[in-house]
Chains A and B, each alone.
Chain A
Amino acid sequence: MGWGFRFLNYGYTSNGIMYYDNATNTWQEYNLTKIGTVFLQGVEFVNGGQYDTEKTAFESYKVQNYEDSSSENTIVGSTFH
């Protein structure tokens, strides 16, 4: 069903690690620095992954607690079609 690209804004850098905890069967974070700020203005997403919600045209995942706390992700005046 559908096709397209996905713009993934992923908030982790490689300063720390993620590791799999076999005791709890979950992914754990260790000393991760989280960034991932974006500024998109007037961007046209054409035939993006929104035709399949598993591959949405724009996805943000774990973008939080970034180093420059004054930064803000901005998506303005863009189209997704």
Chain B
Amino acid sequence: MHLEESEKYEITNNVFFKGIEKLVSMRKIKSVKFNNNLMIGALKRTNIAFKTLVACFLSENTFNKASGVQVKNNVCQGSYGHGFALPYVPCSEVGDKYIYNNLAGSCEIGFIFSKSADQCQAAADAKVYASKQCIMNHSPGTTQVMFKRMALTDCYGRAFNLRFGMGSDDARANVDEFYVNAISRPNCDYCYGVSAIPCANQEALRLLAITINGETLPDKFGTGYDVICRTETFDAKAFLRDIKFKNYRETYGESALSQCGNNYLFRPHPIASDMSGSHHFWSSTCDNCTMESMAIFDAPKQSELGWFGGCGDIVCTGKRNYLIEDHDGSLTGVSGGGTFIPSNPEIGDALDGCTAYNGPMNGHFCTRHDLAVLEYESKAKDKDLRIMWPVTLTREATGADQQYSHQTNGYKEWEWDGNEPLNRRLGRFISIINVNSTYNMTFLSEPPHVLKLQLQKRVE
């Protein structure tokens, strides 16, 4: 079914069974109610070499409450591509529920969201099961994204990612009231494994990355929607409340889950070389999880060394300078909570109260809340014309904390002319620091004539 430049439709209680590419698509519509429909089997084309957008339901235009569009209580079972490809709604309307309670299962990507007209964009009330990635996000023109009330189970690649484009000096993602279960039927002896739902190497959340650009449907879609191909921005953070994770573990004791394992909560975007957002949790839990399964903090890539589009003589340092903070101890079960430091032994080994997790986590957990992220950049005319890094931050020993020095690199080369890098790396830096401390900041060469500094917000 396809509706275009049309209005005043009520499409209710129908069944759409097997179709090529899109079972239902809409473009330039208003006053359309698409409720209580069942869509089964969105198939890909097989007679062409390139990949096309496949979805049970696709809307190419944005909705808001005034448009009179409803997409409610629909089910998509089975899609080679997306279940629901929908626009974000304005954050101010996230409680209005005109896109509400839709369910996708057995899809490559359960829900994918595209740009709305608002700088604060939201999505809510989605349910996904048994899909490779349950929720996919990446929208341009955004300074804030907001996600509420979602249930995601058996997401056998990734449950959801936090990703958008444009950003600001105060850019954020808000996530509230999520239920994310790695394995929803642990006692089912035929549900999981190679011939059923994959149940190994899952990640619950790909950490927030914000770049200056973004992607929009239908030009970009599928797993490539989350690509990073432009520079990251100055600030990125996420505030998450009432998130209930379940069954993320490295190993399982249940006999039905012998093929399952290595399922982790958090992992940074692999291409986020310069900055990953910090994440702050309140009133969140992880039931039947282990401390070791909380994260994989990938180390900086050695392949990013070098001067041909890389980070120079030292690795890019974005993957060593973000935080995941359990503000109230509910997520980790550690009384008083604490803060994860990724892949940064110089700081983690030096500070009191930090425990190293040298396995796949590759990080430290510190029972303290005095860590923060310092964001600073050159605002001088030569901000992208000369190299002044690495920046060395040295903190003197105080109390039980030892002295340490920590190097931060400038941003990677993102400006190219065809295959040639333009050597226009930004003098922009992201460093973990310990607040209420004195640091000696040393630039490799003459410091920027104009330097902007800000502490990343830890609370709203």
Contacts and interface: CB of A to CB of B under 8 A. Distances in A.
Report if A and B associate in a common complex. yes
Interface of A: 1-2, 9, 11, 50-53, 56-66, 71-81
Given A1-B47, A11-B6, A62-B6, A80 B20 contact: no
Interface of B: 1-23, 25, 45, 47
B9 A75 contact: yes
A1 B5 CA distance: 27
A66 B7 CA distance: 10
A80 B17 contact: yes
Interface on chain B toward A: helix, strand, loop, or mixed SS? strand
Nearest to B19: A50
Contact of B6 (A2, A64, A74, A78): A64
A34 B15 CA distance: 29
A60 B17 contact: no
Contacts, number: 99
A53 B4 contact: no
Given A1-B45, A50-B20, A80 B3 contact: no
Contacts of B13: 76-77
Contact of B4 (A50, A62, A77): A62
By Cβ-Cβ distance, the 4 closest A-B pairs, closest first, are A81-B17, A50-B19, A63-B6, A60-B6
Nearest to A81: B17
A51 B19 contact: yes
Nearest to B30: A64
Contacts of A56: 1-2, 19, 25
B6 A61 contact: yes
Contacts of A64: 5-8
Residue from the set A50, A63, A65, A74 with the largest chain B CB neighbour count within 10 Å = A50
27 contacts: A1-B47, A2-B20, A9-B6, A51-B20, A52-B20, A53-B20, A56-B2, A59-B1, A59-B3, A60-B4, A61-B6, A62-B4, A62-B5, A72-B9, A73-B9, A75-B1, A75-B9, A76-B14, A77-B14, A79-B17, A80-B14, A80-B16, A80-B17, A80-B23, A81-B15, A81-B16, A81-B18
B12 A76 contact: yes
B12 to A, nearest CB: 5
Given A60-B3, A60-B4, A53 B21 contact: yes
Nearest to B10: A74
A52 B52 CA distance: 13
B8 A72 contact: yes
